[in-house]
Chain A
Amino acid sequence: MSTVALGLARGGIEVKQFFRSREQAVFTFAFPLLILTLLGSIFNRAYEGTGVTAAQVFTASMVGAGIISTSFVNLTISVAADRENGTLMRLRGTPLSAVSYFMGKIVLVAVASLGQAILVLGIGALLYDVHLPTSLDKWLTFGWVFVLAVVSCSMLGIATSAIARSGQGAAAVANVPYVGLQFISGVYVGPITTLPVGMVTVASFFPIKWVCQGFRSVFLPDAMAKWEMAGTWELGRTAAVLGAWSVAGLVLCLLTFRWTSNRT
């Protein structure tokens, strides 16, 4: 079988294993949903002259934050676990290429992320009256932001797993930057213009800010763009930053990926 066909086959068993190990599936999915339900219920302010509520803005941002949980956080943990439980040791002794292994992980993330996005939007529609866009244009934007988010954050997750020495340590290694960046990217505190400029500048170097901004452009009316830092959705810049991170993530992956935890 070709590298791609094997990557898809890996994807199939990755998805199976992910959903069968309930702790991991629940942990990955539940955290963003819990935050969405709790914080969304607290935010009740409306944005003047737009009819958009803070909870709706938060829901749009949480689509992005949820995908980053299912990609970056989930992969940091699951690749470290694969290193610990012998999965990688075994694969290394087979003709399978590392690229097929990465592809399998990306398939897992794409499936889990789509599920995550549907759950977040479902809760948003149910509790906060979030409306799905009807124009093809918006869905195209959703498509490319989704793909770039999944690819860049998956690569970064695999690369980050090299730092973690154990599956358990990996949860901390992944969650600290994830939660921190969510704060300074204006996910919890909105609109992003209320944050100190320096903070947002730091956040602008990382994918989360752009992923969430991209999804706000999809799920919010265009009038809301004035509450972004630039006053516009900056879709071109979003594509550039996420594309750059996808390439950088792949390079980092290839440089740091280790089949085993021994270093000689």
Chain B
Amino acid sequence: MTAIQVRGLRKSYQDHVAVAGIDLEVAQGEVFALLGPNGAGKTTTVEILEGHRGRDAGEVAVLGQDPATGTSAWRARLGIVLQTATDAAQLSVLETVRHFAKYYPRPRNVDDVIDLCGLTEKANARVKSLSGGQRRRLDVALGIIGTPDLVFLDEPTTGFDPEARRQFWGLIEKLAADGTTVLLTTHYLDEAEALANRVAVLARGRIVAEGTPGTLGGRATAEAIVRWTDHNGPHEVRTATPTALVREMSGNGELNGLTVTRPSLEDVYLNLVGDEK
């Protein structure tokens, strides 16, 4: 069962082409990451899928419905996590989550959601007093209170400190473990690698690569670099068969400073995005 199906999606603003023909398929229960530099069309794509923006061409089905004509019952199955809202400043965390729970036909338990998002200690604090990371976790709480089948997270950890990011990732992992489909956009590669089952790289409105984080852009089969040091100094060899190389070299005993590296997701990504420019 597919949660999101997109064919030939296009969207332009005046002369600027934001999305230049995208095909996308996200299975139910999958955590899917859209990667790409600023201006690649990530946010436009997500806003079209959320039903917040119209499109020029293409077929889109989100949970089986066209977002352009999304009904209230359809929206009840989505969770949209905002990234820049400063609303509800004067309400407490508990008041806010409890109020939003009323909008949905099958809400989660309010206390459970607050606990899941790590806000139990802040339940009675005014929203305006929350730190940036706490505020974003409240955004997630409001995004998941309605027991959504599909959650949209648009650059959720921008501006987080490393510890807050780790906590946030833990939260997303818990959501995914419950079977919730997650569509994530990010420009942090480690985030995509840590969370996503599959990633697609967007550049200039097109998908330039798609796959699991481990195999993206031929990463798994790319030549590895083997480095070691002996009495002649440091060595560096590129090879498609690093295992054989290491077996052969290690006949002479322990190799000092041995490393075998594959291109990182970042190397692959920069390559892909760079090709497009």
Contact = CB atoms under 8 A, between A and B. Distances in A.
Interface of A: 1, 6, 9, 13, 16-17, 20-21, 82, 85-87, 89-90, 92-97, 259-260, 264
B53 interface: yes
Nearest to A259: B52
A96 B72 CA distance: 7
Nearest to A20: B90
B87 A95 contact: no
A259 B75 CA distance: 15
B91 A17 contact: yes
A94 B85 contact: no
Nearest to B73: A95
Given A1-B102, A93-B50, A86 B86 contact: yes
A93 B52 contact: yes
Contacts of B146: 94-95
Interface in B45-88: 50, 52-54, 72-73, 75-76, 78, 80, 82, 84-88
B166 interface: no
B149 to A, nearest CB: 13
Given A6-B102, A95-B75, A264-B54, A86 B82 contact: yes
A16 B75 contact: no
B99 A90 contact: no
Contact of B95 (A13, A82, A97): A13
Given A86-B84, A93-B78, A264-B54, 5 more contacts: A17-B89, A85-B87, A93-B52, A94-B104, A95-B105
Interface in B164-215: none
Closest CB pairs A-B (n = 9): A86-B85, A93-B80, A20-B90, A87-B87, A95-B72, A95-B76, A17-B90, A85-B86, A94-B103
B144 interface: no
A85 B76 contact: no
B142 interface: yes
A85 B91 CA distance: 14
18 contacts: A1-B102, A6-B102, A13-B91, A17-B89, A21-B90, A85-B85, A85-B87, A87-B87, A87-B88, A90-B142, A92-B52, A93-B52, A94-B146, A95-B76, A95-B105, A95-B146, A96-B103, A260-B52
Contacts of B99: 9, 13
Contacts of B126: 20
Interface residues of B, number: 30
A94 B75 contact: yes
Nearest to A5: B102
Contacts of A87: 85, 87-88
B32 to A, nearest CB: 19
A10 B103 CA distance: 10
Nearest to B71: A95
B100 interface: yes
Interface in B97-124: 99-100, 102-105
B104 A95 contact: yes
Contacts of A97: 72
Contact of B13 (A9, A17, A89, A264): A264
A93 B75 contact: yes
A259 B53 CA distance: 11
A65 to B, nearest CB: 27
Given A17-B88, A20-B90, A90 B75 contact: no
Looking at B72, B73, B146, the one whose CB has the most chain A CB atoms below 10 A away is B72
Contacts of B100: 94
A95 B103 contact: yes
A21 B126 CA distance: 12
- Residue among B54, B73, B100 with most chain A CB within 10 A: B100
A89 B91 contact: no
Contacts of B53: 264
